[in-house]
Structure 1
C-alpha cells in the first residue's frame, strides 16, 4: 500500500485553518475587549468551537478522497 499525499496536505490544511482562525478572531480583540465579560466569554467559547465544523469534511477527504459520505 502506497502512502497517500492527502494526509500531509490535510495536516497542513488543519494547521493553516487553526492559525488563520486565530488571526481572524484576534484581529477583533480591540472591539471584543470593550464588551462585558460574559458576552466575551460566550463569543470566545462559540468561536472556539466553530472552527471544528470544517474539520469533518477535511478529515473525510484525507481518509477517502471524497468530501462527502457516499449515499
Structure 2
C-alpha cells in the first residue's frame, strides 16, 4: 500500500513540475540546472514521515 501511495504522490508531483516546464524551459540552460536539481530533491523533504511509516509501521 505504501509503495502505491508513494508512486501516486510522485506522479502528482511530476505533473506539477511538467506544468511548470514552459516557465523553466524559458530560462537559460545554466539557470535550468539548479532549478531541476532543487525540484528533483525537494520532494524528499515532506515524505520523511511517510517513508519512516513504510519501514516501521509507525507514524512519527
TM range (shorter): 0.7 to 0.9
- TM-score (norm: length of structure 1): 0.72
Alpha-carbon distance in 2 for matches of 1:11, 1:24: 20
Deviations 1:22-55 (A, max 9, x none): 1100101111111111111110010000112233
Structure 2 residue aligned with 1:32: 24
Alpha-carbon distance in 2 for matches of 1:64, 1:34: 43
**Larger-gyration structure (1/2):** 1
- Greater relative CO, 1 or 2 (CA 8 Å, sep 6+): 1
Structure 2 residue aligned with 1:4: none
Cα offset for 1:17?
1.6
Mark the runs of 5 or more structure 1 residues left unpaired by the alignment: 1-8
Mark the runs of 5 or more structure 2 residues left unpaired by the alignment: none
Q: Which has the higher helix share?
A: 2
